[in-house]
Structure 1
Amino acid sequence: KQQNMSIQVCAAAQSKPEIIRRTANFPPSIWGDRFMNYDSQDIITNARNQEEVEELKEVVRREVFTTSAGDFSHQLKLIDAIQRLGVAYHFESEIEEALERMHAAFHDHDFSDDGDLYNVALGFRLLRQHGYKISCDVFNKFKDENGSFKECLIVDVPGMLSLYEAGHLGIRGEEILDEALAFTTTHLDSAAKAHLSYEHAEQITQALERPLRKDLERVCAGRYMSIYQDEASHNEPLLKLAKLDLILFSLFSKMSSVRLLTYILKLHIQLMLLLIRWWKEVDFEKKLPFARDRIVELYFWVVGVYFEPQYVEARKFLTKVIALVSVMDDIYDAYATFEELEIFTAAIERLYAQIFYRTLLNVVDEIEEEIAKDGRSYRVYYAKESLKAVARAYFEEARWFNEGYTPTMEEYLPAAIVSTGYPMLSTVSLLGMGDIVNKGDI
């Protein structure tokens, strides 16, 4: 009888269909325990002296926003340097006031009519970056009678670089900016191969590889510092402030991408260590080994959203959420069967606490507890809804794959926009940003 029972069990086991899973075979994290071995005292060997920082801020504030207030060209260049060196967050109100005056000058044609290519393009870019409406018609004066950009502009490398960066701020239908981008890209590429000064050649190479509009501000600051400090007209107090602010005394432009990422993350090491410890505690590496281990890279991405010191809590919230959504993406795309995904999606809709979702719930609860102290807990509802929307979009794409169905563009776009994660991350990024958005704005 016992033998018959064993045969039945074996037969049942053999008849159970094998579950075929898609696996992406993601490589392990390249970082290992690199950041866990850092001593915060060793990292901050060149830590900024807060008193010196405050003194330098006052010097820069006086030189840029008081002494240079009437000289738009000089002030524009200094504001651009402040932004590119990554210290603009120290002077937000002063920059806005200065740009307000410049916008009025542009509007009255007091500046744009008389300015050269460098200054007009720089003013245009800075104003657009800060949300001011400014017409691209300011560039018409740099065209010849045939409607093309004047050939004499080609030798003006600073002007061409300024126009190139301005061209990236164009919107649909602004043909003159499309033309400006094509014109400057072609001629700057040629100029980079000519016998230019190191300063100009380096600026062109960096601009063509990573225009400001598409660069990470903190990474850009490190690269730009190596150029700015060699400029004869650089502002010494501003340069010193930027170095103290970055805790940086070496040239980023000479670093490999891995060393660059490592150095940037050193500047944020305390929060980085907290996040790595949290990631090890949730232990997805063992519990969900099919998922990507990318907590360091994800934090680096978040630094691109906001690196400023006042947003440390916001960076913590967003990094945890994006790390969990990355795992959720892998569950949908690289591991679970369609039948499991049906259950999983329903569980997320009900906030059901399984291994993954229990962790997500804990993070959401942590966020809600923190921002409730400032009376902003109402924001968590929108974060939860956006996370559910991502799960539904992932499931829709998984259903199409399971059925072998190719959706129409009209069917695909609504799901694809949500599954990119950007609408959700935009919502979550606002959770820890103080009064940047209020309940009445929603």
Structure 2
Amino acid sequence: MASQVPQILASPISCNMENRPKADFHPGTWGDVFLNCPDKDIDITTQLHYEELKEEVRRMLVAPMDTSIRKLPLIDAVQRLGVNYHFEKEIEDALEAIYHDNNEADNDLHTTLRFRLLREHGFDVSCEAFYKFKDEERNFKSSLTNDVQGLLELYEASYMRVHGKDILDEAISFTITHLTLADATLDYPLSEQITHALKQSIRRGLARVEARRYISIYQDIESHNKALLEFAKIDFNLLQLLHRKELSEICRWWKDLDFTRKLPFARDRVVEGYFWIMGVYFEPQYSLGRKMMIKVIAMAFIVDDTYDELIPYTDAIERWDNKFMDQLPEFMKISYKALLDVYEEMDQLMTEQRRQYRVEYAEKGDDTTCSSLSFGSQMDSSKLQTNIRGV
């Protein structure tokens, strides 16, 4: 196969962009909304207060309690407010103690909350505790419906189920029925929590989106922790500012490439791609990873949308070399050069960190993706020809 490559690339491929199949992707909707970012930084007074609040929350997480399980509501609030990435060790240590604590949870809410939090963190915790919620006829006790907050926690815990554990499947059906009935009779903020939960459980939410939503709810819960709430608000604003700066940088990079004019058939989805990456890792220490990954994703869109002239483009990508660019049609040169530039930038940044080996893995992954696109496109073409012959 390798010996055929020079023949394939021996002369430029003639291809007219106007003759390409059109996918009719709708144009990008964001325009220049994120092109510029407010140039503001946190003042020293706010920064100092922020650090003080952070230490106060840390002290609460490590403070001894009469039983370790009493710390569950605090851990849950820290997670749902989106600041748990500051206290990973403290939370892990607390949950480790809770896992090994033989004292049975003293109420239904603690039972379900313990189960959910431990499973979220990978602990092998049994569903056996939920059988205490059933009566002699193996139905869920009607008394459970008297505690709507506990019912909501049972609902959320049920989404941590695994295959073969029927009791949690039954719990979902039971809680959905009774939460739906109770929702219309409740006051804010509990009513809002239930309405949202029935649409989307905690397990299925995106961390930053859910944090912003929960901040608004948590501040109206009478028992909220003021220091934690204030810390979460400042932290959200700081992290949002960082994300805005990153997105602004990415949008400028994308606009400079001018793909919307040069390759009008391709998708303009760089903002959506950045949002997708935010669902993978949002923490500040992964800033470089986010910026590199969105560039790779954006180029994957372009490569995918360019994939009609299969063999020459696949061969060029497998070689990662500018000298093969002259063998490509003009519109393919645009995306190929941009792709090489992204990986060249990645190579320079990783070399500075002595992690250059990571780029090789990324390139191999891109090769695999392109080979898959090539195969898929050939199959689509084959099916189209078969259908035409059939007609």
* TM-score, normalised by the number of residues in structure 1: 0.76
Structure 2 CA distance for partners of 1:199 and 1:19, relative to 1, 3 Å: closer
- Tell me by how many angstroms 1:218 deviates: 0.8
2:282 equivalent to 1:307: yes
Q: Which runs of 5+ in 2 are unaligned?
A: 1-14, 323-332, 386-391
Letter in 2 for 1:60: V
2:353 equivalent to 1:374: yes
Matching residue of 1:92: 88
Letter in 2 for 1:343: P
Structure 2 CA distance for partners of 1:402 and 1:216, relative to 1, 3 Å: same
- Given that 1:84 and 1:224 are in contact with CA atoms closer than 8 Å, whether structure 2 keeps it comes out as yes
SS of the residue corresponding to residue 28 of structure 2 reads coil
Matching residue of 2:3: none
Of 361, 386, 389, the match for 2:365: 386
- Tell me by how many angstroms 1:147 deviates: 2.2
- Given that 1:47 and 1:247 are in contact with CA atoms closer than 8 Å, whether structure 2 keeps it comes out as no
- Given that 1:48 and 1:247 are in contact with CA atoms closer than 8 Å, whether structure 2 keeps it comes out as no
- Tell me by how many angstroms 1:237 deviates: 0.3
Matching residue of 2:140: 149
- Tell me by how many angstroms 1:352 deviates: 4.8
- Given that 1:89 and 1:308 are in contact with CA atoms closer than 8 Å, whether structure 2 keeps it comes out as yes
Letter in 1 for 2:268: D
* TM-score, normalised by the number of residues in structure 2: 0.86
Q: Give every structure 1 segment of 4 or more consecutive aligned residues whose post-TM-superposition deviation is greater than 6 Å.
A: 16-19, 45-48
SS of the residue corresponding to residue 164 of structure 1 reads helix
- Given that 2:35 and 2:249 are in contact with CA atoms closer than 8 Å, whether structure 1 keeps it comes out as no
Aligned runs of 1:176-325 on 2, under 5 Å? Answer: 176-192=167-183, 194-247=184-237, 268-325=243-300
- Tell me by how many angstroms 1:350 deviates: 2.4
Of 325, 328, 340, the match for 2:303: 328
RMSD: 2.4
Structure 2 CA distance for partners of 1:363 and 1:77, relative to 1, 3 Å: same
Letter in 2 for 1:175: D
Letter in 2 for 1:32: G
Q: After superposing the two structures, state which structure 1 stretch, 173-182 or 79-88, moved more.
A: 173-182
- Tell me by how many angstroms 1:102 deviates: 0.8
Matching residue of 2:316: 347
Q: Deviations over 1:74-106 (max 9, x none)?
A: 31101100011011111111111101101112x
Matching residue of 1:65: 62
Equivalent residue pairs, number: 361
- Given that 2:69 and 2:98 are in contact with CA atoms closer than 8 Å, whether structure 1 keeps it comes out as no
Greater relative contact order (CA < 8 Å, ≥ 6 in sequence): 2
Could you tell me how far apart the structure 2 residues matched to 1:53 and 1:39 are? 21
Could you tell me how far apart the structure 2 residues matched to 1:174 and 1:291 are? 46
Could you tell me how far apart the structure 1 residues matched to 2:37 and 2:83 are? 26
- Given that 1:364 and 1:380 are in contact with CA atoms closer than 8 Å, whether structure 2 keeps it comes out as yes
